[in-house]
Amino acid sequence: MTNVSPLNFVHKEGKFGDFEGKNENDLLKVSEINQLLIFQIAKFRNSDFDTSKIKIDNLELPSSLKSSSNSKTRILWLGPDNWLVFSSSLDLLQKEKDQFDDKHLAITDISHSRTIIEIEGNLVDEVLKKGCPLDINSLKEGDCANSVYNGITVTLDFISDNPKKVRISGLRSFGESLHHSITDACLEFGYKSV
């Protein structure tokens, strides 16, 4: 079975918007992130299981509105006793499954249900402010949040402050609309699609 990117027909490489006469290093960069394992961990409401004992790819589950990461894996806090794991190690879930007790935790592979768009550059916050009601200025590297972007439910992952880099993930079925909304917001500043 062939894995088809959610943005296969819409994400095109090139420069777009107000890019003329600007240094290429000053342009926003927009890219699709794919080929990741994505799974959700949810602790059952009546469970007394201690989730602080769980380590995934040597990472602890993060606390409220935070993420934890290494070079291959990012874990985002989604809500109380609920986390989202993104990893380039496609066999990570298989390696770590022994520590998940199905009496206390629900583990759901959602790898094929998400679109992930990464934006990098000094004006990332301005792009996010165009469609997201959160106080973007208060969110920094290591933070994450669930919100909406132009009416599309998204998860924001603030990867880096220097350079400013944010990943926006949404349902695959809204992928093209999310991509259009993000790239449309970038046109004013000029962007490079990679």
Parts of the chain belonging to CATH 3.30.1360.120: 14-35+114-193
Is the domain defined by 14-35+114-193 classed in CATH 3.40.50.300?
Answer: no
Question: With contact defined as beta carbons under 8 Å apart, do 143 and 65 qualify?
Answer: yes
Residues 65-83 have a mean pLDDT of 97
Burial of residue 152, with CB atoms counted within 10 A of its CB: 0-12 exposed, 13-18 middle, 19 or more buried? buried
pLDDT in tens, 81-118: 999 999 999 999 999 988 888 999 999 999 999 999 99
37-111 to CATH, choices 3.40.50.880, 3.30.70.1520, 3.10.129.10, 3.30.9.10 = 3.30.70.1520
> 29: closest CA among 141, 93, 108, 122?
122
Parts of the chain belonging to CATH 3.30.70.1520: 37-111
pLDDT in tens, 122-140: 999 999 999 999 999 999 9
Single pTM value for the model = 0.94
